[in-house]
Structure 1
Amino acid sequence: MNVEALYHRPKNSFAYAYDEKTLHIRLRTKKGDMDSVSLIYGDPYNWNEDGWQTSKMAMEYSGSDEWFDYYFAAIQPEFRRLRYGFELISGDVKKVYTERGLFDEAPFDDTAYYFCFPFLNSADVFRAPSWVRDTVWYQIFPERFANGNLKNDPEGALPWGSADPEINNFFGGDFEGVIENISYLKELGISGIYFTPIFKAKSNHKYDTIDYMEIDPQFGDKETFRKLVKVCHENGIKVMLDAVFNHSGYYFKPFQDVLENEEQSAYKDWFHLREYPIKTEPRPNYDTFAFEKSMPKLNTENPEVRRYLLDVARYWVEEFDIDGWRLDVANEVDHAFWREFRKTVKSVKPDTYILGEIWHDSMPWLAGDQFDAVMNYPFTNAALDFVASEKIDAAAFAEKIMNVVHMYPENVSEAAFNLLGSHDTQRVLTLCGDTKEKVKLLYVLMMSYSGTPCIYYGDEISMTGGKDPGCRKCMEWVEEKQDLDMYRHVQKLITLRKTVSGFGNGATLKFLKTEDQTLLFEKVGDNTSVLIAINAGENSALVSYSLDENKNAYDLWNKTAPVSGTLKVELPPFGFALFEVK
């Protein structure tokens, strides 16, 4: 038994309140080490003449990553308190793992040996807005989606799609263009729009904010935005805005005042200024986003800055009824600010979705006091490595995904923001070497995964593009140039996600078979399950699976006759199959 690999810690992703009655307990062990794991548990105050009263239950094996196995138990303690440990059996060795270490036999003379979940307080339960689990997002880069009003085009705007995107060119995309195309999004099945920044700024991407309280005039005015939100809501579509609170733009008035007045500026403490006089070259001598001189970092520990930004957060929810904030460079802003941000926004509209842009393990932001979710780049990277670049095989993909699954509590994962590409990355079709069947596989993986999926505008019609700014082309509205087969593929998957229980959220992911580039996994729900077979290889592959007695497999994609006994599927190169088993 490899005891060095054992890991458990309460009050994080290994022991957490799933809801007001249920605790989820996880244990990590060395991969392939344990024959069985059981949870020993009891209320710390439940004693009688025989001593402390405990129970024992077998824990379920919940998956493996590259190095470790994971075990899981869900329990509803009668009085919402719990002390617990783990009985481990490996061959003829038995150990009991507690907070105070390992024992040959479970010690019952004192509950202090055991891990402690002191009390399941309702206020501590992680709660993301319930509507998010059923939302399919569509990311819009406003300058490039559609031009509905030529009168508000910025100076020098080019005819739509007449040139490749560059870091400093404009094409006139605006709110009226979005309003005119709401029916397109609704028909696709979209129920949420994530807009990159819309506030006044100099650039075409608007991540260099000049005024957080004003719409950039090239997009329209506040009344047009109000109309946009109203039209979205009437069509069952939520609206999420991008908040750039880590840094401002160079032409933000407080920063201009600092540049003009140096040490005498009333705003000098709004930023992280290291010395005077202020310099922008060769590197700025003030903190910025990366080393970008036009994006000075805001000092969110300053009370005036906090007050200003929290007023911004409140204003757009209160005045325009937006449904979410996506928080740019969220990991570089102090946790105390985000806690205030959450209280401010939730006090106005409790079911506002708060999404952080964090590319790495984000557990410190996901304890229920800051964000509802983060952008799930670990899923993105695993999917792209498996299908797009073929860097890893099916087994390695399964291991990476199981690592992601066990990275966060289950109720956190159900609200995770899943994506294949964005304004920050190459287009997914370009990453796939223009192989459209690979893109279709990636959409199968994303749409069937727990969380809330997002489509980057134009990916559903096979637009291409390299790294920024190449990924920011004008949306293609000429139907003859759109890939309508890809559109129908994405549309069909969205419909399955909405109509088949457990295809997305509400089911447990289990990998059943991995061989070379072929993968079979199951989404297990309460009454049914969904089987998904993926062939990410260039050769055909045969997948077979023995169904439980009295169970039938129903083809969700091609609607062929139901199968009982043994399910056998011939998958073409980059092919897939979807079955509901009941």
Structure 2
Amino acid sequence: MTDSVIFDPRDLNFKNPYGAVPSGTVVSFTLRPPRAGGFSRGRLTARFESRNNEEQTVPLPWVDSRLGVDQFRGTLDVGTYVGLIWYSFVLEGLDGRRAELGPYQLTVYQGEEAVPTWFGEGMTYQIFPDRFCRSRIPDPAGLVGGRTVHQDWADEPVYRPDEHGEIRNRDFFGGDFRGVISKLDHLKDLGVETLYFNPIFEAAENHRYGTADYDRIDPMLGCNQDFSRLCDEAHRRGMRVMLDGVFNHTGYVSRYFNGDGFYPDVGACQSWDSPYRSWFQFIHWPDRYESWWGIYSLPAVNESDPGYRRFIFGDEDSVVRRWLRAGADGWRLDVADELPDDFVAGIHAAARAEKPSAVVIGEVWEDGSTKVAYGVRRKHILGGHCDGLMNYPLRSAILSYFSGGRAEDFVQSMETIRENYPPFAFYSAMNSLGTHDTPRILTLLGAGGERRDQSRDWRASFRLEGDALRMAKERLRSAALLLFCFPGSPTVYYGDEAGMEGFEDPFNRRPYPWGREDGELLGWFKQLGALRKDHPALRRGTIRYVAAEGPLLAFARADDGEELLCVCNAGDAPVTLPLPGKTASPLAGTPALSPLEEDAGVQITLPPRSGAVLLMK
């Protein structure tokens, strides 16, 4: 006897309502053991994790017997509780026999606040500002960090250590806001609705994750007014702008820490009386301090410091509020799971107070509902914290599926996320195939992994060719189709749509190849972007899995009378999918359609490593 015979938490016949529930919900549970099991009573035990693991027992009396199956039913009122509930069942027979099931997870979230839906509906485009587009070759003289600038846009980024054995990331290409503005019409044509920028504030390194001045746009990008102009131009084209909030650490070279003395201000490591000294956590002042993952150039901040909290989100003119006022529409929080929950809640409250339509997206690499950081279960998506998270579990599932995995495993992984996440978080996820922190998706799909077995010089010079390139492009087309059809915002890392390649940083951060794009891939992404923009079923519709068998994956998205079917074949041989009683019209891809002989339906045949979207009737 298996649990699935008796209880399936994803089936409304066993648990109602589905998945995560808002506080105040009464949840109904039904156990359905075979009559032959001889069970006479059941009970549910619910453990309220964030209420000191308090337990509540609910009797599940016998209520009915149908077709040889008993039914035991009861309800759990979650009351005002917010957090995770771990529940399990016991069935007992008169002869002393027992069956134990569970534990299962129930996520209970705050349901009072209306979460803006715009982010999850449309396509997002991630821009690494230094490498997207430049309007001129900048002069680095006098800028923080002792920078150099590549004169040739097609240069290879510096990846070898310097004479001191360090990779300092001080080589810039000079991408700027004027360059981005010049490409906004191109991005609109691609279907982009949200521009997500990696950090834009003044910083010594080209990635700008070691913020030097939160009040100032990095001069290579432009000035503060240029940022507002960029936002105005984006808004005029129906796009929104999301910024990267790096609030867990600053730069060693910064106005606040001032490790190299570049700034005239008295930094934390220069004077015990510095107004910024309490922002940092010194083990031995001034030369030993906490830093992000032990990287000395990124000193960690003390997020409990009142002055730092006021500066970031507490004051009327705080960082969070000021840049929303300047034109931004939301924040993505870097290393959100390394920020205290009440700090994230403060950012969220400040963002909503400044701009009610603003959203906050958190960087979390795992299932955000069960994430534990520093020994604490995080509240990321329980309401009032993050409106959505970066969906790295989806990326992992897609990579596995298109690299020889099974569709059944993809469904299991993604249904776990859908079950555990509140609907607002599931539909506001930042879904991507790659980011600035991962190798390029085309490279992974063609090279068969990150190839850490090879030298760094080998990885720097590696390019796909021949059959490997052809197969990688076929897989990328299918993976992108799945991405654009899945709930949450399909997020494209700049250049993936153009066929950019590269393993780890900095090879995944090369300049965008203007004029040298892969036209076939670019055209495909434009088609997917238009599809996402034009069909409500893809923007906000329900999801229902139709098939998952080996290389074949199919799911339907439906909304307001419209139903679209996304079908993918990750294998090396054709696959077929019969759809009795249905008609289908292809919207993307080139499936072969044939009538079913025994039914007024249709059979879909997909070539190897391909995908299609069809309008169903």
Q: Same fold (TM over 0.5)?
A: yes
- Residue 33 (structure 1) aligns with: 5
What does the per-residue CA deviation read over 1:206-233, in whole Å, with 9 as the maximum and x for residues that have no partner?
A: 0011100001101111121111111111
- Shift in Å, 1:196: 0.5
Q: Distance in 1 between matches of 2:435 and 2:27?
A: 44
Give the structure-1-normalised TM-score.
0.80
Equivalent position SS for 1:453 = strand
Q: Paired residue for 2:602?
A: 567
**3-state SS of 1:378 partner:** helix
Match of 2:508 in 1: 471
Q: What is the letter of the counterpart of residue 132 of structure 1?
A: F
Tell whether the 8 Å contact from 2:123 to 2:532 is kept in structure 1 after alignment.
Answer: no
Match of 1:25 in 2: none
**Equivalent in the alignment of 1:73:** 17
Are the equivalent residues in 2 in contact too, given 1:199–1:213 (CA < 8 A)?
Answer: yes
Which residue of structure 2 aligns with residue 540 of structure 1? 574
**Residues 242 and 36 of structure 1: is their aligned pair in 2 closer, same or farther, counting only changes over 3 Å?**
closer
TM-score, structure 2 as length reference: 0.76
Which letter maps to 2:535?
Answer: V
CA contact (8 A) 2:170 2:204 kept: no
Aligned counterpart, 1:556: 587
Distance 1:520 1:252 in 2: 51
Post-superposition offset of 1:528: 3.7
Deviations 1:388-414 (A, max 9, x none): x32x22222221122222220222211
1:39-118 equivalences under 5 Å are 60=12, 71-73=15-17, 83-92=26-35, 93=37, 97-98=43-44, 99-105=56-62, 114-118=75-79
Q: CA deviation at 1:181?
A: 0.8
Unaligned runs of 5+ in 2: 45-55, 65-73, 83-108, 142-146, 159-168, 259-266, 370-378, 447-468
Partner residue of 1:458 out of 478, 495, 518: 495
C-alpha deviations, 1:147-169, integer Å up to 9, x for none?
A: 11334566531124331122332
The answer to whether the 8 Å contact 1:193/1:237 transfers is yes
Task: Indicate yes or no: 2:127 matched with 1:140.
Answer: yes
Partner of 1:49: none
Note if 1:580 corresponds to 2:590: no
Alignment CA distance shift 1:419-1:71 (3 Å): farther
Instruction: State the shift of 1:297 in Å.
Output: 0.7
Cα 1:490–1:104, aligned 2, differ >3 Å: closer, same or farther?
same
> Residue by residue, what CA displacement relative to the aligned partner does 1:24-77 show, whole Å, maximum 9, x if unpaired?
xxxxxx3x3237889xxxxxxxxxxxxxxxxxxxx537xxxxxxxx855369x9
Residue 410 of structure 1: aligned partner? 423
- Structure 1: how far apart are the matches of 2:280 and 2:203? 18
Provide the residue aligned with 1:224 in structure 2.
226
How far apart, in 1, do the equivalents of 2:239 and 2:139 lie? Answer: 25
Q: Which moved more, 1:514-523 or 1:202-211?
A: 514-523
Which whole-Å CA distance do the structure 2 matches of 1:326 and 1:37 have between them? 32
- Compared CA separation, residues 224 and 72, structure 1 to 2 (3 A): same
Tell me the C-alpha RMSD between the 2 structures: 2.8
2:351 corresponds, among 339, 345, 349, to: 345
SS in structure 2 at match of 1:365: coil
Distance 1:540 1:81 in 2: 49
For 2:12, the aligned partner's letter is: E
Shift of 1:104: 3.9
Distance 1:84 1:429 in 2: 44
Instruction: Give the superposition deviation at 1:368.
Output: 1.6
Q: Which residue of 2 aligns with 1:426?
A: 439
Identity of aligned residues (%): 30
Say whether the 8 Å CA contact 1:553–1:562 is kept in structure 2: no
The alpha-carbon deviation at position 87 of structure 1 amounts to: 2.1
Structure 1 unaligned runs (5+)? 3-29, 39-58, 62-69, 108-112, 280-284
Give the alignment partner of residue 194 of structure 1, picking from 193, 196, 220: 196
1:272 to 271, 281, 305: 281
Evaluate the alpha carbon distance shift between residue 118 and residue 538 of structure 1 in structure 2; reply closer, same or farther with a 3 A threshold: same
Give me the whole-angstrom Cα distance separating, in 2, the residues matched to 1:299 and 1:208.
15
CA-CA distance at 1:83 after TM superposition: 4.1
Question: CA distance change for structure 1 residues 527 and 120 in 2, over 3 Å: closer, same or farther?
Answer: farther
Question: Cα distance, 1:559 vs. partner?
Answer: 9.4
Partner of 1:491: 526
Equivalent residue number for residue 375 of structure 2: none
- Rounded to whole Å, the distance in 1 between the matches of 2:297 and 2:355 is 33
Amino acid at match of 1:555: P
Look up the SS of the partner of 1:384 in the other structure.
Answer: helix
Does the Cα contact within 8 Å between 2:587 and 2:615 map onto a contact in 1? Answer: yes
What residue is the counterpart of 1:9 in the other structure? Answer: none
Report the count of equivalent residues: 502
Partner SS, residue 466 of structure 1? coil
Runs (4 or more) in structure 1 with deviation over 6 Å come to 35-38, 119-123, 559-562
